A and B are shown apart, each in its own frame.
Chain A
């Protein structure tokens, strides 16, 4: 995983975990990698991963079964969408809008491109 420049590492790891759940790489109500396993694979401090897991537990995306480990919570996907949507609207959309405005990109062109992107990226062959 490539870390970006500006966002706290524990939040970037949060995004990484959420993506794995959204894309179904980690399955519903399955045990996810332990704090140590994820820290080793991402080459980060285990305390940082712990902070991420605690955050996602507070957002009802993960649940902690004492002594066993962290699991994907029941309606994790709904919770992730809620959490990520707020983040997206607050952080990414303003930058995106600014570029639309500066570069004179119209909504029609955007819609065509959006549909094409979804088709190419997310539909199974």
Chain B
């Protein structure tokens, strides 16, 4: 669905954010895009959506070059940015003005989502809270029936019940012909929702692996005392939370925060395990 080859990108020529980045994303998955502040998560998403242009390298999204912004491609991309601006009109006016750009737009589904998210249709967009606005653009984006769904920090600003609603909606939105990419710092909000982790660090992809592959190769567990097998450890109540190579085919639950810190701290030890 998405093929990135040798992408070089930066907001200035002398200071590249991505160097020679290559990666493939396919339909039928929910990718979780992780990285420190400033690692380039939003910039990568914007590249894929055709909102910024790379210095060199190629980017293929469903057969198109997104930088050309062809309507046939844009009608199949739903992009939920972290910061957004909504016009001072009512919800139904917004829908009337924007839904026609999407051939497959599903009005019935939109109404279901708005009801689930508790958003009254007669509201003016500007008068709603940030969380309500966010829920509205998520609902609108999903109702476009786009094949590629890109979300930048979608759970920011959502209240506790809305986060659960969001997870349910996303679980049902994943179909075999759809690709969902979500960037987030709120890993606990999404850790059971994503099936593949993409981690950006130091201008490149530090890790891209499915949770199945990660837990086949690594074990996440508690240990009372550290030994030489430990790749990465953090002190915890009564011992340590550790990442160790999965020697005994254990089926542990991935701790996404621990993995994140392990990748940042122990790149050299982890690299050979995943190559």
Task: Contact check, B174 vs A9: say whether CB atoms are below 8 A apart.
Answer: no
Chain B binder among A42-50, A76-84, A95-103: A42-50
By a CB distance below 8 angstroms, the chain B residues around A45 are 30, 171, 174, 192-195
Which one, A4, A6, A7, contacts B222 given CB within 8 A?
Answer: A6
By a CB distance below 8 angstroms, the chain B residues around A4 are 253
Task: Contact check, A6 vs B253: say whether CB atoms are below 8 A apart.
Answer: yes
Q: Taking the nearest CB of chain A, how far is it from the CB of B92, in angstroms?
A: 28
A9/B172 contact (C-beta < 8 A), A43-B164, A44-B192 known: no
Task: Contact check, B251 vs A7: say whether CB atoms are below 8 A apart.
Answer: yes
Q: Does B28 contact A (CB under 8 A)?
A: yes
By a CB distance below 8 angstroms, the chain A residues around B29 are 47
Task: Contact check, B171 vs A44: say whether CB atoms are below 8 A apart.
Answer: yes
By a CB distance below 8 angstroms, the chain B residues around A6 are 220-222, 252-253
Q: Whose C-beta in chain B lies nearest to the C-beta of A44?
A: B192
Q: Taking the nearest CB of chain B, how far is it from the CB of A101, in angstroms?
A: 17
By a CB distance below 8 angstroms, the chain B residues around A46 are 171, 174
Q: Does A31 contact B (CB under 8 A)?
A: no
Cα A7 to Cα B255 in complex, Å, equals 11
Q: Does B159 contact A (CB under 8 A)?
A: no
By a CB distance below 8 angstroms, the chain A residues around B174 are 39, 45-47
By a CB distance below 8 angstroms, the chain B residues around A11 are 251
B residues at A contact (CB < 8 Å): 28-30, 164, 167-168, 171-172, 174, 192-195, 211-212, 215, 220-222, 251-254
